[in-house]
Structure 1
Amino acid sequence: MVAPNVKAETMRLMDRRSALEAEMDGIIAALSAPGGAGITGSLVDAEGFPRADIDIPAVLAQRRKLGELRNDHKDVTNKIEKNLEVLHSTRLTRNEQSIPRSSGISAPLHGGLSQNDPMEEDLVTRLPFAMIDDIADGSPAALDGLLLGDEIVKFGSVEAGGRLQERLVSEALTSEDNQVSLLIIRQGSPMNLTITPRKWHGRGLMGCHFRIL
Structure 2
Amino acid sequence: MAATTKYKSLCKKKEEIEGEIKELLDLLESQKGVGLKEPLTDAEGFPRADIDVYSCRHARHQISCLQNDHVAIMKDIEEELNNIHQQAREQKSQTDMLAESVSSCIDGTASMEIDRLPFAVVDRVDPGSPAAYGGLEIGDQLIEFGSVMSENFDGLQMLASVMQHSKGRPLRCVVLRNGRKAALNVTPNTWSGPGLLGCNIKPNKK
Which band: TM-score by shorter chain? 0.3 to 0.5
Instruction: Tell me the TM-score normalised to structure 1 length.
Output: 0.43
Larger radius of gyration: 2
Structure with the bigger percentage of helix: 2
